[in-house]
Amino acid sequence: MIVVRGTKKFLDRVGAAVPVHGLSTGALGDWYANALFWRPQVALFVNEKTRLPVFVPLAPAKSVVERLPAEFEKVARRIGAEGAALDAELVVMKDAVLAKTASRSILGTMNDFVHMAESYRWTTDDVDLVDLAVWLADTPCGVSSPGDAVWPKDAVRTLLR
């Protein structure tokens, strides 16, 4: 089971949060989600441990969390994650529960990704959401001291060995 921690905008569209006792059981941990009112609308998911971004078309909103594993798999394979650990994570991701956000740091990363993604969108008429996520996965994130940066693509490959 994974915990999807949504912003108010996301939860208003997708469903109500429930009290969560515990964390995600997968290697990657919790996911954070926000609704982006682009045309067409998308949901931005960011993994808490790796900061990996994944974009999922928002419509239909009630099934967006169910569609996360398939989109995550596309991004993960493009950045070089493969094998039994990835397969196990995909099985864990099939069961999800919604909760409220709990980390301002992850929300800050999400906001940075949104700003970068909006700039990227202006460079092309046809944005491929997997290409966009892979491009953002090469962004250093979560720097708390020099040398502490997390590159999402490297972090995913490390955790899913």
Q: Which two three-digit tokens encode residue 86?
A: 């990835």
Q: What is the pLDDT of residues 82-140, one digit of tens each?
A: 999 999 999 999 999 999 999 999 999 999 999 999 998 888 778 999 999 999 999 99
User: Which domains, and CATH codes, for the chain?
Assistant: 2-159 (3.30.420)
Amino acid found at 29: G
Q: How many CA atoms lie within 13 Å of 119's alpha carbon, on the beta-carbon side?
A: 7
pLDDT value of position 47? 97
Positive/negative CA dihedral, 117, 30, 99, 70: positive
